[in-house]
Structure 1
Amino acid sequence: MNNYKKTNSAIWSGRTSNDQLYLHEKIKCIDLENEKIPDNQGKAFAILGYACEEGVKRNLGRIGAVSGPDQIRKMIAPLSNHFDKETKIIDAGTIYCIENSLEKTQSITSDKIFQLLNKQYFNLILGGGHDLAYAHYNGIKKYHPDATIGIINLDAHFDLRSVNDKGNSGTPFYQISKENDRFKYLCFGIQEESNNQILFKTAKQLDVEFLKNTDFKIENKKAIGSLIDKFIADVDAIYLTIDLDGFSSAFAPGVSAPSPFGFSTDIALFAIERICNSKKLISADIVELNPKYDLDNITAKLAARLVYYIIKYISSS
C-alpha cells in the first residue's frame, strides 16, 4: 500500500454556486506524485494530510487521530469563500502510516513539505499526532538549510520527552533540539499538571521560552504580543504548530488529551494573527484532532476555522 494518496474530491462538498461562494468550490485536489503542482504568482496555500496516530499509540494516548485530516477537510468545505481569485488553495493529498512505520511516514512527510515549499506554497498540514512536528520541521529545514527556524507551539504539553527507544507524539521537539545547533522554541498554554518536573527541567536546559495556560489569556495580550515579537525578531523563519489539546475542552473535546483548563479561542486567534503578520511564518500545522471523541464536530470545526483564519491573515499581511 502506498503511503501517499491524492484526496478524493468528493470529500470537498457543500452548497453549490456559480461564483465560488464556498471554499469547496475553490480548492483543487492535486496528486503530488503524478501531477504538476500549479504555479503561483500570488498567495498560494497547500493543505496536506498526515493520517498517522502511531506516535500517539507509542505515547500511550487514546487513538483516533488518524481520522483527523479528512474530518477537518469536511468542516472546511462548506465555509464561505471570502478570498480573492488570486489566492490559490490546493489539497495536496494525505500521507498514511503503513505497518506502524512512523519513521518512514515522517520521512515521506518531510519530502512532501519540502516539495510544496519549493513551489512557494504556504503549507497547512492537518494531523494526526504531534509527531508530525518532527517531520514538519525537517521539511522546512531542508528548504531553508541555513536559516534559524523558530518554532511557536500552542499546546498544553512541551512534547520534550526524551527518546528511550523510538520517537512518539511526546518527543518531537526533544528530537529537533538534539539534531540542531540552534534550537528556538516558544510554547503558549503549557499546563503544569500535564508536564512533570523532568519536562520543566528539560525545557530550562534547552532555553525554551513558555507561558503557562494560567497566563495565556486575552487580558495579557499586550505582554504576549511583545513576547511573540521579540521571539520572531531573533529568527529567520517561523513554523507554527497548534495542538488542539491546548484549548479548553469546552472548545476542543475531541482530542487525544482533553483538558477543561486549556486556553480560549480569543487569545489563540490574537497570537496567530500576530505571528502571521510578522511575514516570517512559512508553514503551519494543526494536530491531535480525535474525531472518535468529538461532540457534534465542535473540535473539527474549530480546526477548520483556524485554517480559515490563517489563510485570511497570511493573505492580508
Structure 2
Amino acid sequence: GASKGPDSLRTASNYYEFFERDGKIIPICPMSGTLENKKILDFGNVTRDDLYRLVFDIVSAKKIPIIIGGDHSITTIILQAVYDACDSKISLLYFDAHPDFVSSTRNYYGSVITDSSDYIKFTKSVLVGTRAAESEELENASKQKLEIITPLDILEVGLNSIVKKIISKCKESKSRVYLSIDLDCMDPGVAPGVSVPAPGGLLPLDLIYMIKKITENLPIVGMDIVELSPDYDLNQNTANHASRILMEMISSLIIK
C-alpha cells in the first residue's frame, strides 16, 4: 500500500528528473523558481514513532520539513509537532479528494482533520479538490467554518481566482501555513496509484500551478505528499507526477 510510496517516489525522481548524456548526469530545471542554494537532506524512511520528534526538531531549527507518506494519518502527527514547535495554531491547506473529517471513527486516514482539530485554525484553512464527502464530514466542516473548494468550484470560478482567494485567506490569518497533498486529489485517470481514488479530480498541471503560487506567496512551515500506492499505479504515472510536484513545490518555496 502507501507504505511503499516514499521509495517509489525516490525511484521516479532518479529516473525522470535527470538526463544522462556523455556520461554526465544533468538535472532537469523546474518550470519556474530555482533549486539553487536550497539544501535538501533526505532522512530516509522514518517510523511513525520517530516522526514527531524529527518534525519538531526540524521546525524548531527554523527549517522546513517535507514528508513523503505513507497514508494521510501521518499528517496528524506532523501537525502536532509543528503546533508544539511554533506554539500556535496552523492554517492548513489540504488537497484531498476526501475531507478526512469523519468524527464517528477516529485515528485513521479518514479522520485526520478531526484528530488534528487542536492544531488547526479552521476559519483560515481550506480543503481543496474535495469531491467524495460523507454528510457527516460536510456537517463537521460547516460547524467549524472550514471552507471546501471542489473541482467544480475551480472550473466555475477559474484556477487563478481560486488561488488568489486561498492566498488572501491565509495571509489574513498571519499564521504559519502547512500544505498537505493527498495524491488522490488528482483525477485517477492520470494518477491511478492511490488507495482511495475518486473520479472528477484535478489535473496534475493545475495542481502544480496552485502549489507553486501558494509556496511563492505564503509562509510555509511544512509540507507533505501522501497516499502514493505503487501497487495500484500504472507505468509509474502517479509516482512521476508526485516527483514533479515535489520538485516544483521546492523550487518555488521561499527560503528566509
- The bucket for the TM-score relative to the shorter chain is 0.7 to 0.9
Counterpart for residue 139 of structure 1:
81
Question: Are 1:190 and 1:213, in contact at CA under 8 Å, matched by a contact in 2?
Answer: yes
Q: What's the % identity of the aligned pairs?
A: 25
Question: Are 2:68 and 2:224, in contact at CA under 8 Å, matched by a contact in 1?
Answer: yes
Counterpart for residue 158 of structure 1:
99
Instruction: Confirm or deny that 1:94 pairs with 2:45.
Output: yes
What 5-or-longer segments of structure 2 have no aligned partner?
A: 19-26
- Equivalent-residue separation in structure 2 for 1:86 and 1:312 (angstroms): 10
Greater Rg by CA: 1
What 5-or-longer segments of structure 1 have no aligned partner?
A: 1-63, 97-104
Counterpart for residue 119 of structure 1:
61
How many angstroms does 1:138 deviate by?
0.9
How many angstroms does 1:75 deviate by?
1.1
How many angstroms does 1:216 deviate by?
2.4
How many angstroms does 1:163 deviate by?
5.0
- Equivalent-residue separation in structure 2 for 1:136 and 1:89 (angstroms): 19
How many angstroms does 1:119 deviate by?
2.9
Counterpart for residue 174 of structure 2:
235
Counterpart for residue 21 of structure 2:
none
* Matched pairs, number: 240
What secondary structure sits across from 1:295 in the alignment?
coil
Question: Are 2:93 and 2:180, in contact at CA under 8 Å, matched by a contact in 1?
Answer: yes
What CA deviation, in whole Å up to 9, does each residue of 1:28-59 have, x standing for no partner? xxxxxxxxxxxxxxxxxxxxxxxxxxxxxxxx
Tell me which of 187, 194, 199 is aligned to 2:127.
187
Counterpart for residue 20 of structure 1:
none
Tell me which of 223, 229, 237 is aligned to 1:284.
223
Partner letter of residue 302 of structure 1? Answer: H
Question: Are 2:125 and 2:170, in contact at CA under 8 Å, matched by a contact in 1?
Answer: no
Counterpart for residue 24 of structure 1:
none
Q: How does 1:299-314 map to 2 (within 5 A)?
A: 299-314=238-253
Tell me which of 185, 197, 205 is aligned to 2:143.
205
Q: TM-score, normalised by structure 2?
A: 0.86
Partner letter of residue 160 of structure 2? Answer: K
Question: Are 1:218 and 1:267, in contact at CA under 8 Å, matched by a contact in 2?
Answer: no
Distance 1:142 1:163, change over 3 A: farther
Counterpart for residue 38 of structure 1:
none
Partner letter of residue 134 of structure 1? Answer: T
Question: Are 1:163 and 1:175, in contact at CA under 8 Å, matched by a contact in 2?
Answer: no
Q: How does 1:10-159 map to 2 (within 5 A)?
A: 64-78=1-15, 79-80=17-18, 81=27, 82=29, 86-96=37-47, 105=48, 108-145=50-87, 147-159=88-100
Q: Greater helix share, 1 or 2? A: 2
Q: TM-score, normalised by structure 1?
A: 0.71
- Equivalent-residue separation in structure 2 for 1:250 and 1:181 (angstroms): 32
Question: Are 1:67 and 1:128, in contact at CA under 8 Å, matched by a contact in 2?
Answer: yes
How many angstroms does 1:185 deviate by?
2.5
The structure, 1 or 2, with the larger RCO (C-alpha pairs under 8 Å, 6+ apart) is: 2
RMSD across aligned positions (CA)? 2.1
